[in-house]
Amino acid sequence: MIRVDRRFLHNFDWVLLLFLGAVSGMALLNLYSASYPPVSWGMPPYIKQCYLFLMGLAAILVILTFDYEELHSWNYPFYIFIVILLLIVLFAGNSAGGAQRWINLGFFKLQPSELAKLMLVITLASYYSRKEVDGGYGLKDLVTPVALTGLPFVLILKQPDLGTALMLLIIFISMTVFARISWQTYLVGIILGGGATVLAWFYVLKPYQKRRIETLLDPGKDPMGQGYQILQSKIAVGSGGNFGKGYLEGTQGHLHFLPERHTDFAFSVWGEEWGFFGSLFFLGVYFCMLFWGLYIAMSARDRFGVFLSFGVVVLIFWQAVINLLMVLGLLPVVGIPLPLVSYGGSSLLTTLLALGILMNVRMRRFQIGQKKEK
For the stretch 73-77, contacts whose Cβ atoms lie closer than 8 Å and that sit 24 or more positions apart, written own/partner, are 74/122, 75/122, 75/123, 75/126, 76/123
Instruction: Identify the pLDDT of residue 371.
Output: 43
pLDDT band, very low/low/confident/very high, at 294 (cuts 50, 70, 90): very high
The span from the CA of 80 to the CA of 123, in Å, is 11
Reading across the β-sheet that carries 94-96, which strands appear in turn? 94-96, 99-104, 109-110
Strands 109-110, 94-96: parallel, antiparallel or unpaired by DSSP? unpaired
- What pLDDT is stored for residue 369 in this prediction? 43
What H or E segment, with its residue span, contains residue 288? helix 266-298
158 HSE (CA, 13 A, CB side): 13
- Taking only the tens place, the pLDDT of each residue in 78-100 is 999 999 999 999 888 787 766 78
Enter the pTM of the model: 0.90
| Mean pLDDT along residues 272-293 | 96
CB-CB contact of 97 with 83 (8 Å): no
Structural domain harbouring 96: 23-366
Region 343-356 average pLDDT: 94
What's the total number of domains in the chain? 1
- Please check whether residue 91 lies inside any domain of the structure: yes
Residue 102 maps to a domain:
yes
Q: Say which residues have a Cβ less than 8 Å from residue 49's Cβ, sequence separation at least 6.
A: 27, 28, 31, 343, 345, 348
The closest alpha carbon to 333, from 250, 247, 234, belongs to 234
Strand extents, DSSP E, the chain: 94-96, 99-104, 109-110
* pLDDT tens readout for residues 142-196: 999 999 999 999 999 988 888 899 999 999 999 999 998 887 887 888 888 888 8
**Is the separation of the CB atoms in 327 and 268 below 8 Å?**
yes
Please, is 314 exposed, middle or buried when counting C-beta atoms within 10 Å of its C-beta (0-12, 13-18, 19+)?
buried
Indicate whether 371 belongs to any domain. Answer: no
Q: Write the DSSP string, 82-114.
A: HHHHHHHHHHH-EEETTEEEEEE-SS-EE-HHH
Tens digits of residue pLDDT in 22-64: 999 999 999 999 888 766 666 788 899 999 999 999 999 999 9
Query: Is the CB of residue 211 less than 8 Å from the CB of residue 219?
Result: no
Distance from the Cα of residue 38 to its chain's centroid: 28
- From residue 224, how far is each of 127, 150, 152, 314, 323 by CA, in Å? 47, 36, 35, 35, 21
Sign of CA dihedral 171, 175, 181, 183: positive
* CB neighbour list of residue 198: distance below 8 Å, 6 or more residues apart: none
Decide if 337 is inside a domain.
yes
- Secondary element (H or E) of residue 122: helix 112-130
Residue 173 forms part of a structural domain: yes
18 lies in a domain?
A: no
φ/ψ (deg, to 5) at 38: -65, 145
Is residue 8 situated within a structural domain? Answer: no
Residue 9 is assigned to a structural domain of this protein: no
